[in-house]
Structure 1
């Protein structure tokens, strides 16, 4: 009888959580390592005096049958809710209704709730940045495979893993894994984004909850405090800046970012924006460059290694979930 296999997963975002849940359902042991304070990745929320703020993914959609079924389970458990709103489009001159009728979901009460639900009681090492991964071939001729050894940046060593799944953003994966096929994927696949939350001292008078921005410095605007389970006073607005702007302003002063963001928001809504507080987050690896081909997931049978992420299939929360399931199924098929 084959022994229970133990898989290490680096990254506790949607891809890592999806893989962990699928593997555990099929009898695998799983341990997850996450450099941040909690699970979620780009679905994480920041704790503030005004409540948790979603600085990364603002919502997600569901098209694939597997993900639609999973979202239904989250809804039943009240871990996800539909965000009912009609988005607008800004063309640089005026706001128009968006023709898109896509159903949008958010985690409740915070965006990372679905990730936490998938992880459940999976062993999770937070604030643990893995700095080195080494595959050690077994000297025992009766064993077909070796094992992985992980070392954190503070020198802690973790041993005894039969397989390794790396779900970090691609540039970080390249620093961990010396594999030519992974290094051949263009760095331009992932693009940065400045996220800015504006807490207003005077509510803006608007029924608009979300805006797709096609001109200017921004790409997305939403009213955070209008989302399910986030109703709060004062009003809070989220601005996502374009990849082009962010790339050329990676080190911009936050107050300058605020001034630019307020100007853009005032133009769209036609009223002054009075800011009581702000929270800024620079995501170096936020969005997927549509001009770069989707690389899929990378697998190495000899080393029992998989590298995957939302970037594998073109971004989006749904694709991160599907990448994790596909990674897990690669090991399951070996049983």
Structure 2
């Protein structure tokens, strides 16, 4: 059968690779220039930055088996550190027993190692879909039309999936209008002395999480800087500011970091990114994917299954397993 799959994040590529292994024909449509979705990164002169998910955990037994395979293939590595947290403006140790993994060398390696043999149309935004007797037809922002797909699988954020599918299926009926909250992400290259043990920080109402990327295994930074940080501002703060905020996000992040570290830091340079669909609100579904069997349509993604990296993988895995049973 012929499958059209929208979105080349982890859930989309996992679903596509499973279908390819089963002998189906899969065409992936991705609006950006590369794979990864929220596992995206940016290459700068001062380091390669994971700007989305900074690490992932594994709780589900099936996903744990996948992580073991990734470890054997050197696609992931353990980030072994004891986190800190911010309480009443002070930085304190907050050790736990959680095993945290990162992609190797970057988080999007989880996607790339599953993408062999896939036909991906990059910078190809699907703006409309139509269900015909002969199958699904897709229309892109560039004026292209792709037709005759037996199945359509959409792995876009919930809000985008709703807009795309509202005229051809009621599969999104039970999904809240707003599933996501935004996140301002700021990468900072700094000079200044920081205690070696401070590598990951659970923050406060301003910055929700801070990664000391330069402490991660295998990270290569420019020689003229001491550290590279990725700060994820809280959903509430990011939503209040919005994408067009006049606030200097980079300076705000630097001042926050200096305050909790109780030290002066020199900012060498910065990178900023606004994630419109970053954080998942508390949403619970009966299954980790949505299915319209009559229309031959499925909707998958991390947002269907709790929002974590593991959820993205499980959403695709469970969906394809059940599609096989329907045949």
Q: TM-score range by the shorter chain?
A: over 0.9
Q: Secondary structure at the match of 2:172?
A: helix
- Partner residue, 2:248: 256
How far has the Cα of 1:317 moved from its partner?
0.2
Give the C-alpha shift of residue 252 in structure 1: 4.7
Aligned counterpart for 1:231 among listed residues 196, 204, 220? 220
8 Å CA contact 1:135–1:303 kept in 2: the answer is yes
CA gap of 1:49–1:231, structure 2 versus 1, over 3 A, is: closer
The alignment status of 1:265 with 2:261, answered yes or no, reads no
The normalised TM-score by structure 1 is: 0.91
- The separation in 1 between residues aligned to 2:285 and 2:179, in whole angstroms, is 8
> For 1:63-82, what aligned pairs fall within 5 Å after superposition?
63-82=59-78
Residue aligned with 1:132, SS = strand
User: Which range moves more in the overlay, 66-75 or 277-286?
Assistant: 66-75
* Cα offsets for 1:98-134 (capped at 9, x unmatched): 2421101111111100101111121111111011111
Deviations 1:158-210 (A, max 9, x none): 12211011000111111211233414411332111000000114453442100
Cα separation, 2, equivalents of 1:172 and 1:294: 18
CA distance in 1, matches of 2:254, 2:112: 34
Report the 3-state secondary structure (helix = DSSP H, G, I; strand = E; otherwise coil) of the residue aligned with 2:326: coil
Q: SS where residue 248 of structure 2 aligns?
A: helix
Distance across 2 between alignment mates of 1:223 and 1:334: 46
Q: Describe the superposition over 1:245-275 as per-residue Cα deviations: whole angstroms up to 9, x where unpaired.
A: 1111113557611221112111211111211
2:128 aligned counterpart, secondary structure: strand
Q: 8 Å contact 1:31–1:123 — kept in the other structure?
A: yes
Report 1:175-324 matches (<5 A). Answer: 175-178=163-166, 179-202=169-192, 204-213=194-203, 215-233=204-222, 234=225, 235-253=227-245, 256-290=248-282, 292-294=283-285, 296=287, 297-324=289-316
Give the whole-Å Cα distance in 2 for the aligned partners of 1:149 and 1:68.
Answer: 37
Could you say what secondary structure the match of 1:16 adopts?
A: helix
Deviations 1:273-313 (A, max 9, x none): 211110011000101112x3346421111111001110101
Query: C-alpha offsets along residues 63-83 of structure 1, whole Å, 9 cap, x if unaligned?
Result: 111111111111111111111
Give the distance between the partners of 2:326 and 2:2, measured in 1 at CA.
13
Taking the aligned partners of 2:87 and 2:111, their CA distance within structure 1 comes to 34
RMSD: 1.6
Please identify, of 105-114 and 256-265, the stretch whose mean Cα deviation from structure 2 is larger.
256-265
**What is the TM-score when the length of structure 2 is the normalising length?**
0.93
- Aligned residues, how many? 321
Q: Secondary structure at the match of 1:315?
A: coil
CA contact (8 A) 1:310 1:317 kept: yes
Q: Name which of 131, 149, 157 aligns with 2:137.
A: 149
How many angstroms apart in 2 are the aligned matches of 1:195 and 1:6?
38
1:295, 1:312 within 8 Å by CA — same for their partners in 2?
no
SS of the aligned residue for 1:155 comes to coil
Unaligned runs of 5+ in 1: 139-146
What SS does structure 2 have at the residue aligned with 1:182? coil
Distance 1:308 1:207 in 2: 38
